[in-house]
Amino acid sequence: MRVYLPATIGILRQLVEKGEYLPPTATAFALTPALRESYTSGSTEELEYAALLDAARASLRLIAIAQEPSSTDAKEPPRRVVISADIDRVALRPDLDYAVVKVTGPIGLEDVAAVHVDASEAEPAVLAAAAVIDAADLGDPDAEFTLGDVEDHELAWYAPQELPFLLDLM
């Protein structure tokens, strides 16, 4: 199953350096039967994109944590990162949301199909959105507007073999 894991630049570094990454909450997003049923129409590609966007939004929570002064990621560029991986160790979590799945075990670099990362121009919008992600989830219209600003930025696509070069440029 193709899963979309929310991440940060620091997490991406860990994946490249260690060859694997164990998501701390084991939460990922995917095109699940519940997600498919929640849409009246849409191709598989469109529904997978919806799951990817859910992961990108979850990445904002990780960025908010990474920006705390005590975090080892505090010096990393604040960019949304989504790791797309093909794995079989997945359990559905319809109790959380339509696209949420739980992964069991680490994600190896060999499982990665692609990585999606914000461009540097998105950094101010990412920081602003990370600061209000909880308020947006609680329905604050100003926070939702701020999230809309960051979601206007498309994520760039990178092949797994490009990751060392991408990280060298950061």
**DSSP string for 141-162:** HHHHHHHHHHHTSPPEEE-GGG
Note whether residue 7 is domain-resident.
Answer: yes
Note whether residue 70 is domain-resident.
Answer: yes
Cβ contacts of 37 within 8 Å, gap of 6 or more: 98
CA dihedral 151, 131, 140, 5 (to 10 degrees): 50
Note whether residue 46 is domain-resident.
Answer: yes
Tens-place pLDDT, residues 117-126: 999 999 999 9
128: exposed, middle or buried (Cβ count in 10 Å: 0-12, 13-18, 19+): middle
Tens-place pLDDT, residues 47-98: 899 999 999 999 999 998 887 766 666 678 999 999 999 998 888 887 788 8
Q: What is the domain range of residue 87?
A: 2-121+154-164
Number of domains forming the structure of the chain: 1
Q: Smallest Cα–Cα separation from 115: which of 1, 7, 28?
A: 7
Least confident of 68-72, 129-133, 160-164: 68-72
Note whether residue 132 is domain-resident.
Answer: no
Assign residue 18 a region (left: φ > 0; alpha: ψ between -120 and 50; beta: otherwise).
alpha
Note whether residue 170 is domain-resident.
Answer: no
Q: Are 90 and 101 in contact (CB under 8 A)?
A: yes
Note whether residue 135 is domain-resident.
Answer: no
